[in-house]
Chain A
Amino acid sequence: MATESVKYVAPETKPKTLLDVFRRPDQHVTGIRDWLTTIDHKKIGLLYGLVALCSLIFGGMQALLIRSQLWAPNQELLTPREYNQMFTMHGTIMVFLVIMPLSAAFFNFVMPLQIGARDVAFPRLNALSLWCFVAGAIILNLSWFFTGGAPAIGWFAYSPLTDVRFEEVARDLGPDFWVFGIQVLGLASLLASFNFIATLINMRAPGMTMMRMPVFCWMTLVVSFLIILAFPAITIALVELMFDRNYGTNFYDFLEGGKPHLWQHLFWIFGHPEVYILILPAMGIVSEVVPTFSRKPLFGYGLVIFSGAIIGFMGFAVWSHHMFTTGMGIVATSAFSMLTMLIAIPTGVKIFNWIGTMWGGKIRFDTPMLFALGFITMFMVGGFTGIMHSSVPIDMQQQDTYFVVAHFHYVLIGGALFGLFCGFYFWLPKMTGRMLDEKMGKIVFTLMFIGFNTTFFPMHYLGMIGQPRRTHSYNAGNGFEMWNQIATVGAFILGIGILLGVIQFMRSFRDKSLKPAGKNPWDARSLEWTLSSPVKEYNFARTPIVKARDQAWENNYGPRELHSEKEPLDHHGVHMPDHSWYPLFTAIGFLVLVIGMLFHSSLGADGEIIRNYTVPIIGGIIAITSMIMWSLEGPGGYHLFPEEDEE
């Protein structure tokens, strides 16, 4: 009965009444309702990627405005306030709406396939993470349209920039949008991370022991732990800030006994682990790509994982290297300086592992490998400058200059973004079923590599001769002019490169002229490459029984006893959970609640504050009702009966 063929009949899915539209969709739902109610990890991953790539273009345009403003001394293309808004939004968008969700896109799409799972542990919760992320993105970007416009406080939002008493614009809503936006984005990341942890711990296929998991899965696990332990610090810091701004508490109010310094500590206790949250996924990707294109197993698998975990662990103990100039005292400063130097060791270990992997390998220079090599070299430059400013006296010179800007762009673009682009060129064939055009890929890589270095390398020098960061303009005659112009030219080259890349990714979903990918176009090593491209909705027709690390490779080249097996076909078929509206509705509830909170207070005739909580309460009711309905509807589901080898 297992492989019995039942003729497929499409049931009537065209909704007739409004109520039909919101009925729980069955498995034959298509189009927009499918995407809005999907709980499939692959589609959720694609949606994360889509929103993040759009944000990348948007944040990139802001960066180009910043660079244009710095083209010549004392320009007035942007006002100082607009300039501050640009770099605030640019930084916030790039960190929270680009790099993190791009990583989440790969976690979602790739990780369950790599461990041989049907889906993540809690598919509907996963959808809620996605929609909370979208809600957070909406909130953040809405800020442009209301009193005061976008926040002008920097991505670090140092107090007292956020103090209501020092606002340039009366009743400025920008910082409030920022506070609530980050809060909702944090919620999204937390929920997603709980889910990934549960998945990686509990949903592995038989035989997939922890030490057989691909490095990318390990990095997913480490990053998830970093998120659940680091985000609470910023969440509470934001709650305190929210109370300060709305209810008159004094957490950061130095006129009434608070300490702005506390904000810096809480922010960087989150902020430093956050930079590892941004880089470790890219390191995981590169650890998959380098062995594939060197046709050798990863050199020192255990060490790569161990150093990743150590980085995650130590990442919590170095936050104050962002505060060397705040006067923390000799002991604290030296201790943090030493720990910061130490953390460079596990980072360096990984570099040597990648080099060791390539050593003696048969290297192929396809686009993913080019990006991986770009990652390794550029990340090294960023690492070196990081070690430079782990030394306190040196950092005293470099703090708040363009040198720091150069440092973190080398780790964030040269590192994280190159790593993520590497992931796209590597896994898009698995997502779309079509190969990307190699020639175009190489053009994108060249443009990005040249543009990136032209933009950011001169900034090292600019920083050392003293150009301050976060500053709207500079005077002529300090030797800044030429290097700023070079940087601006480079930025546009980089921008074109990124734009071409994004267009190439998007088009590959439609472009029928591209070569079909087949199961394993790269001769890659992990389980997802044993499946067809694009992957079927049920992933594995039969659960694989894993016998080795690099299972796909062993299946092709390894000894018989290391070939994977498959569990017998279940006469129940593959159980698929049903779609659900409630994750989306819950997120909409949160969105309404937040918008309501943003506008809940107004000034009365005598200047007293009038509070009205109707809208937040409505939002809360929507969210809670959706959650109750969610738990009552249950996972539901249906069964699919794929043929033996329809994977």
Chain B
Amino acid sequence: MSEAAAAHADEHHEPYTSTGIPTKKVLMWAFLGSDCMFFGTLISTHLIYRKISATVGTNYLDIRDIFDIELTSFSTFILLASSLFMALAVSAIHKGNLNSTRWMLFGTIIFGGIFLACQVYEFTHFAYAPGNELTLSSYRGEPHVFGSTFFVLTGTHGTHVAIGVFWLLGWLAYSFTGKMSTADAMDIECCGLYWHFVDIVWIIIFPVVYLMEYAL
């Protein structure tokens, strides 16, 4: 076989795809579809147990005693607002506006960080609330499942947010190398898809885990 191995040096051109959709995006959508099932399983576990081992109504198991709904509403708002920054970051990089991209990424990271800080505060606060402790295995010293489903569900969501924050930090760092260009727009858009998805999941978790304890 005759061959010549040219060292790469590829020009930039959009690679051909059958659907015209960038392949990374297809991958991301497939992953998000799968992630829906991850959260679906966790949320159903929570709802099933909520039904069969009630947390509201009986005296010693009223979970409202330790929920801090104002704080959680605030952090929910913050997380939703971060999605706006994310969308602006994507639009900025598409236009090639590096400076604005950088600031919007920064905003997303800060808001994500605030959300995480609230969650860390909430977790420690719950676990050490005097006389009211909610732990992985008990509530007020009694064996209970609420702590198990609550911490594992919201903790998994928090892990998703944290991964998102690190991913965005990666982009922020990259933006200072001088290599960032509109060619990265697609990758940042994928990151954005992930971020919005994690937000949407919280929009489900907040009513299902928190608000419902007040309504029903």
Contact = CB atoms under 8 A, between A and B. Distances in A.
A5 B136 CA distance: 68
B144 A257 contact: yes
A132 interface: no
Contacts of B30: 193-194, 197-198, 228
Contacts of A609: none
For A204, A230, A236, the residue with the greatest tally of chain B CB atoms inside 10 Å of its CB is A236
Given A5-B2, A233-B41, A641-B2, A202 B152 contact: no
Interface string A568-604: 0000010100000000000000000000000000000
B90 to A, nearest CB: 19
Contact of A190 (B34, B42, B143): B34
B45 A251 contact: yes
B52 interface: yes
B42 A236 contact: yes
A636 B5 CA distance: 13
Contacts of B149: 251
B148 A236 contact: no
Interface residues of B, number: 44
For B4, B31, B147, B151, the residue with the greatest tally of chain A CB atoms inside 10 Å of its CB is B4
A259 B170 CA distance: 42
A236 B143 contact: no
A642 B1 contact: yes
Given A197-B30, A637-B10, A236 B38 contact: yes
Contacts of B152: 239-240, 243, 249
A248 interface: yes
Interface in A254-294: 255-259, 262, 266, 269
Nearest to B53: A257
A121 interface: yes
A44 interface: no
Contact of B5 (A5, A27, A266): A27
Given A203-B18, A232-B34, A250-B145, A636 B45 contact: no
B215 interface: no
A155 B47 CA distance: 27
Interface string A114-152: 000000011000000000000000000000000000000
Interface string A610-645: 000000000000000000100000001111111100
Interface stretch (B21-29, B64-72, B100-108, B110-118): B21-29
B40 A575 contact: no
A637 B8 CA distance: 6
A255 B53 CA distance: 13
B145 A257 contact: yes
A239 B159 CA distance: 14
B27 A122 contact: yes
B186 to A, nearest CB: 13
Nearest to A28: B5
Contacts of A262: 45, 48
B1 A243 contact: no
A8 interface: yes
A123 to B, nearest CB: 12
Contact of B8 (A7, A636, A640): A636
Given A203-B17, A229-B34, A640 B5 contact: yes
A256 B40 CA distance: 24
Nearest to B40: A232
A248 B136 contact: yes
A639 B148 contact: no
A387 B156 CA distance: 39
Interface string B44-58: 010011001100000
A237 interface: yes
Contacts of A608: none
A345 interface: no
A121 B6 CA distance: 22
Contacts of B14: none
A258 B145 contact: yes
Nearest to B18: A204
A88 interface: no
A259 B52 contact: yes
Contacts of A7: 2
Contacts of B40: 232
A229 B38 contact: no
Given A232-B40, A250-B148, A251-B145, A256 B19 contact: no
A249 B137 CA distance: 5
B212 interface: no
Contact of A198 (B26, B143, B145): B26
Nearest to A243: B152
Contacts of A646: 1
A233 B52 CA distance: 21
Interface in A297-318: none
For B5, B19, B38, the residue with the greatest tally of chain A CB atoms inside 10 Å of its CB is B5
A520 B76 CA distance: 61
A190 B41 CA distance: 16
Nearest to B34: A228
A197 B26 contact: yes
A639 B145 contact: no
A247 interface: yes
A232 B145 contact: no
Given A6-B2, A195-B27, A203-B23, A256 B34 contact: no
Contacts of B17: 202-203
Contacts of A208: 18
B89 to A, nearest CB: 19
Contacts of B148: 240, 243, 249-251, 258
Contacts of A239: 152, 156
A613 to B, nearest CB: 16
A235 interface: yes
Given A190-B34, A638-B7, A8 B1 contact: yes
A240 B90 CA distance: 36
A575 B13 CA distance: 13
B31 A194 contact: yes
Contacts of B42: 236
A201 B18 contact: yes
Contacts of A230: 37
Contacts of A12: none
B207 interface: no
For B3, B26, B30, B45, the residue with the greatest tally of chain A CB atoms inside 10 Å of its CB is B3
A579 B40 CA distance: 38
A243 B4 contact: no
A606 interface: no
19 contacts: A4-B2, A8-B1, A8-B3, A193-B30, A197-B26, A198-B24, A198-B26, A201-B19, A228-B31, A229-B33, A230-B37, A236-B41, A249-B137, A250-B145, A257-B144, A262-B45, A266-B41, A639-B4, A639-B8
Given A122-B23, A201-B21, A228-B33, 13 more contacts: A3-B2, A6-B2, A6-B4, A194-B30, A198-B27, A202-B23, A203-B23, A229-B37, A232-B34, A240-B45, A249-B152, A573-B6, A639-B8
Listed from nearest, the 5 A-B pairs whose CB atoms lie closest are A5-B2, A256-B143, A6-B4, A232-B37, A249-B148
